[in-house]
Structure 1
Amino acid sequence: MEKLLNRAKEIQIIFFDIDDTLRVKDTGFMPASMPQIFAALREKGILTGIATGRNLFGVVPEIRALNPDFFVTANGAYVVDKLDQIIYQHALPTTVVSELVAWLEASSSEYAFYGADEVVASAWSDTMRAAIAPIYGQLPVNPDYYLTHDIYQMESLSEHDDQLVLPEKLADKVRMVRWHPHSSDIVPMTGSKAEGVRQVLDKLGLSAANVMNFGDELNDVELFDLGGLSVAMKVSHPKILEMADYITDTVENDGIEKALKALNIL
C-alpha cells in the first residue's frame, strides 16, 4: 500500500468511466457526493476527465454538471475540453464504414453509428432496444447516415454477436470490443480510451505517471495498461480486476469516494 500512496502523490489528472463507475448504467443512480468530490479535486488542483465508450450525445446532463475538464468519448476517437474545443478526432474512413455495413448486413446483424454528438441505428428492434435504450433511449433510424456524417465508432447488435468474426479485409483496420451480450463496439485498430487520454496528456505536458483511471469494462484495458494508477470498481470484468492497482467498492457504495480517500487523493 505504501508504494501505491507514493504513486498517488504524482497524480495530476483523473479520468472516470461513466457506466457502472460514476453512474449505474441500468438505473441511472449516481452518488449524491459526486459533485462535491469533483469540486474538492478542483480545489486541490487536480484535473478531471470523462473516458467513455459513449459519444458526447451519451454524456448525460448529470455527468456534464460535474464540470470535468476533458471528455474522451467514443472510446478515444473524439476528444474535447470543457469548452467543447476539439483536441483530437479520428473518424473511420467512409470506405471502411461501407465495408462494415455490408459485412454486418450479410451477417444478419443490426448496427449503430456514432457521430460526434449523435447515435443513429440501422433499425429499432427488440435486440437494439435491450442493449441501447438504457444508455441512449430510442435512437433515430437511418442506415445511410454514414454517407453524410463522420463516423467515429460503430456497434454490432444481434443475438449472435459473440459469434461474429471480422473478415480478413477488415481485421487489420478495426477491432471489436464486447460490452454487452448482444453488442460489440467496433473501433479503429489503434483506437482506445488510452489513445484519447494520451492526446490530453500531450496537450498538458503530463506523463502517464500523472494520470489515474477509474473503470470497469473491457474497453478500459488499454487505459489500465497506459500507466499511472488504475482503480477498478468491485463489479468490474475479471480482466480489469486483474489489471487494477486498486479495487474499490460499487457505485452504490461510494466506491470512487472510498478509493480517493484510501489513496490520500482526498
Structure 2
Amino acid sequence: MENLLSSAQDIKIIFFDIDDTLRVKDTGYMPESVHRVFEALRQKGILTGIATGRNYYGVIPEIKALKPDFFVTANGAYVIDKDHEVIYNNPLPKQTVESLLAWLSSVDSDYIFYGSDNVVASKWSEVIQAAMAPVYGKLDVIPDYHQTHDIYQMLSISDHDDTLVLPDDLADKVRMVRWHPNSCDIVALNGSKADGVSRVLASLGLSPEQVMNFGDELNDLELFKFGGISVAMKVSHPDILAVADYVTDTVENDGIEKALKTLAIL
C-alpha cells in the first residue's frame, strides 16, 4: 500500500469507464459523490477523461455534464477533447467492414454499427433489445449505414454469439471482446482503450505512470495493463480484479470517491 500511495502522488489524469463504474448500467443510478469527485479533481488541477466502449453519441448527458477533459470512445477508435477537437480518428477500413458483414451473414448473426455520432442496428429483435436498450434505448435500423458513414466499431449480436469464432482472414485485422452474453465488440486488432488513452497522453506530454484508470469489464483489460494505477470496481470481471492495483467498492457505495480518498488523491 505504501508504494501505491507514493505512485498516486504522480497522477496527473484519471480516466473513468461509464457503465457500472460511474453509473449503474441497468438502473442509470449515479451517486452524488461522482459530481463531488469531478469538481474536486478539477480544483486540484487533475485532468479527467471518459474511456468507454460507447461512442460519443452514447455518452449520456449526465456524464457529459461532469465536464471531463477528454473522451476516449468506441474502445479507443475515436478520441476528442472537451472542445470536440479530434485527437485520434481510426475507423475500420471499408473492406474490413464488408468482410465482417459477409462473415456475420454466414454465421446468422445480426450486427450493430458504431459511427462517430450514431449507433444503428441491422434489425430490431428481442435479442438486440435485451442487450442494447439498457445502454442506448431503441436504435434506428439502418443495415447499410456503412455505405455513407465511417465505422469505428461493430458488434456481433445473436442468441448464439458465444459460439462465433473469427475466420483467419479477419482474425489478423480485428478481434472480438465480449461485453454481453449475446454480443461482442468487434474492434481493430490493436484497438483498445489503452491505445486511445495513449494518444491523449502523447498530446499532453504525459507518461503512462501519470494516469489512473477506473473500470470493471474486459474492454478495460489493456488499459489496466498499460501503466499507472488501475482501480477495479468491486463487481468487476474476475480478469479485471486479477490485474487491478486496487479494488474499491460498488457504484452504489461511492466506490470511486472512497478509492481516491484512500489513495490520498482527494
Verify same fold: TM over 0.5.
yes
Aligned pair count?
266
CA distance in 2, matches of 1:47, 1:177: 28
1:11 is matched with which residue? 11
Q: Which runs of 4+ in 1 moved over 2 A?
A: none
- SS of residue matched to 1:33: helix
2:234 is matched with which residue? 234
1:218-229 matched pairs, under 5 angstroms: 218-229=218-229
1:169-248 matched pairs, under 5 angstroms: 169-248=169-248
2:54 is matched with which residue? 54
1:161 is matched with which residue? 161
1:209-264 deviation per Cα after TM superposition (whole angstroms, max 9, x unaligned): 00000000000000001000000000000000000000000000000000000000
2:27 is matched with which residue? 27
1:41-80 matched pairs, under 5 angstroms: 41-80=41-80
CA distance in 2, matches of 1:197, 1:174: 19
2:117 is matched with which residue? 117
CA distance in 2, matches of 1:246, 1:35: 22
Structure 1 vs Structure 2 CA RMSD? 0.4
Unpaired runs of 5+ residues, structure 1, are: none
What is the CA distance between 1:66 and its match in structure 2?
0.2
CA distance in 1, matches of 2:108, 2:27: 30
CA distance in 1, matches of 2:241, 2:168: 32
CA distance in 2, matches of 1:48, 1:117: 21
**TM score, norm. by length of structure 2:** 0.99
- SS of residue matched to 1:96: helix
What is the CA distance between 1:188 and its match in structure 2?
0.2
2:101 is matched with which residue? 101
**TM score, norm. by length of structure 1:** 0.99
What is the CA distance between 1:35 and its match in structure 2?
1.4
What is the CA distance between 1:196 and its match in structure 2?
0.2
1:13-58 deviation per Cα after TM superposition (whole angstroms, max 9, x unaligned): 0000000000100000000121121010011010000000000011
CA distance in 1, matches of 2:233, 2:254: 10
**Identity value in percent:** 69
CA distance in 2, matches of 1:170, 1:261: 45
Code of the residue aligned with 2:92 in structure 1: it is: L
Unpaired runs of 5+ residues, structure 2, are: none
